[in-house]
Amino acid sequence: MRSFLSSRWGKLAIGVVLVGFAAMLPLLNIHIPGVLPGPTYTPGALSVLAYAMLIAALALSYHLIFGVAGMLSFGHAMFFAAGAYGLGILLNLLAPSGMPPEAVFLVAIVLTLVVALVLGNLVGALALRVTGISFAMVTLAFAQAANVMIRRNTGDLTGGEEGVRLEASLVPEALVGVVNTRNLYWLALGILVLVYLACVWIERSRLGHVVAAARENELRVTVLGLRPYTVRLFVFGAAAVLAAVAGIGFMLLQSSATPRISTADFTLTLLVIVVLGGVGYRWGAIVGGIVYTILDQRLAELASSSWIAELPPVLHIPLSEPLFILGMLFVLVVMFAPGGIVGISHRLTKGRGGKKDAAEPAVLQDLEA
């Protein structure tokens, strides 16, 4: 039984069961006090879960860059913002075109993904000319430039500090209003599954093996006659498109987007999520995204609770700040569980470091063969 569960078919069966259970949550009356604001069928709980799944999908796209390709990017949130802002802006621009609302919605989504693909390849083509900390600084520069353009309401399109709002009349009725939160939840779940399957396909393809091998030994890959730059650019562009898909889901869920989602700080949050879940593990990005988002949503309530207020000032002051609690949890994970949450489960089940989902250095021998 254990060997079946560890096989590819076993993992597929577990994944199908988990997705099926997640799809059934809006129909169930499950209440987790202190975690969700109400039973799972209520709009409040479904909104929190949908947002957590979209952040998990975004973290998965960052996992491709950081966990698989080994590239530390400080500008990944820019592509998430491109998806959210792109959908809002294009819907407003295409609305007067005379096309049916359904056609306008579909065309806006397609054009948003095209913009994300072009932007991802443009940024990647320039940033990948350098490596290491220089690569990180180039992506940071692009992210800062994009954030400045958004805040200054470039072209009178981005709304400045107020951001962009989604007009309900331009979105299918099934995705508008509190009564349709269940549909938005299923949309977020679908996006998470789509991004996960895309990550699996990329990692298991030859391109994924080459980029993982280049992460371990770029010179050796070059000697084999392969081009690390090309495969890294492909992975960077694919991650940008997947981040934009999550951004589109975010825009539909929140009905607005603000400059906060384009900042380098937001990318640092993704880095924290990936490290929290476990670098190199696909499930780590998902678990880290969901855990971090729920903690971020619920710690504000904990920090303002009466029992925290009754503590001595030396404890009350820091514990009344949700970010302090999150930061301490992150420090504890880095110090005592360097493999993240999923890494702990692997060590417990396998009795050693565990096998990562991402390609291991052994792919070097596979490529040579």
pLDDT in tens, 15-70: 888 889 999 989 888 888 777 878 888 998 899 999 999 999 999 999 999 989 88
Q: Is residue 35 part of a domain?
A: no
Report pLDDT for 56.
Answer: 94
Q: pLDDT band for 357, please (50, 70, 90 cuts).
A: very low
Tokens 């200054």 sit on residue: 152
Q: Note the pLDDT tens digit of each residue in 58-80.
A: 999 999 999 898 899 999 999 99
Token pair recorded at residue 63: 């996992």
Rounded-to-integer distance, Cα 162 and Cα 181, Å: 24
Q: Note the pLDDT tens digit of each residue in 92-113.
A: 898 888 788 888 899 999 999 9
Q: Is the per-residue pLDDT at 320 higher than 80?
A: no
The answer to whether residues 81 and 159 touch, using CB atoms and an 8 Å cutoff, is no
Report pLDDT for 54.
Answer: 95
Degrees to nearest 5, angle at CA 78 with 203 and 247: 75
Average pLDDT of span 279-293: 86
Question: How many CB atoms neighbour CB 225 within 10 A?
Answer: 7
Q: Is residue 87 part of a domain?
A: yes
Pick from 286, 281, 270, 263: nearest CA to 330: 270
Report pLDDT for 335.
Answer: 80
Rounded-to-integer distance, Cα 35 and Cα 290, Å: 11
Report pLDDT for 5.
Answer: 56
- What is the percent of the chain where pLDDT is above 90? 38
Report pLDDT for 157.
Answer: 87
- What is the percent of the chain where pLDDT is above 70? 91
Total domains in the chain come to 1
The answer to whether residues 256 and 33 touch, using CB atoms and an 8 Å cutoff, is no
Q: Is the per-residue pLDDT at 3 higher than 70?
A: no
Q: Is the per-residue pLDDT at 241 higher than 90?
A: yes
Report pLDDT for 366.
Answer: 57
- Looking only at the bridges linking them, the beta strands covering 164-165 and 256-257 are antiparallel
Domain, as residue range, for 316: 46-364
Q: Is residue 37 part of a domain?
A: no
What's the 3-state SS for the chain? CHHHHHCHHHHHHHHHHHHHHHHHHHHCCCCCCCCCCCCCCCHHHHHHHHHHHHHHHHHHHHHHHHHHCCCCCCCCHHHHHHHHHHHHHHHHHHHHHCCCHHHHHHHHHHHHHHHHHHHHHHHHHHHCCCCHHHHHHHHHHHHHHHHHHHHCCHHHCCCHHHCEECCHHHCCHHHCCHHHHHHHHHHHHHHHHHHHHHHHHHHHCHHHHHHHHHHHCHHHHHHCCCCHHHHHHHHHHHHHHHHHHHHHHHHHHHCEECHHHHCHHHHHHHHHHHHHHCCCCHHHHHHHHHHHHHHHHHHHHHHCCHHHHCCCHHHHHHHCCHHHHHHHHHHHHHHHCCCHHHHHHHHHHHCCCCCCCCCCCCHHHHHHC
Q: Is residue 290 part of a domain?
A: yes
Report pLDDT for 359.
Answer: 41
Q: What CATH number did the domain enclosing 152 receive?
A: 1.10.3470
Which of 154-163, 321-330, 340-349 is the least confident region?
340-349
Report pLDDT for 1.
Answer: 56
Report pLDDT for 4.
Answer: 55
Q: Is residue 122 part of a domain?
A: yes
Q: Is the per-residue pLDDT at 353 higher than 50?
A: no
Q: Which of the pair, 6 or 283, is modelled with greater confidence?
A: 283
Q: pLDDT band for 179, please (50, 70, 90 cuts).
A: confident
Rounded-to-integer distance, Cα 71 and Cα 76, Å: 11
Average pLDDT, the chain: 85
Average pLDDT of span 140-151: 92
Q: Is residue 4 part of a domain?
A: no
Average pLDDT of span 108-125: 95
Q: Is residue 23 part of a domain?
A: no
Q: pLDDT band for 304, please (50, 70, 90 cuts).
A: confident
Pick from 240, 254, 280, 286: nearest CA to 75: 240
Q: Is the per-residue pLDDT at 369 higher than 60?
A: no
Average pLDDT of span 264-281: 85
Q: Is residue 38 part of a domain?
A: no
The answer to whether residues 168 and 319 touch, using CB atoms and an 8 Å cutoff, is no
Average pLDDT of span 251-262: 91
pTM of the model: 0.88
Q: Note the pLDDT tens digit of each residue in 188-220.
A: 999 999 999 999 999 988 888 888 888 887 777
Average pLDDT of span 253-278: 88
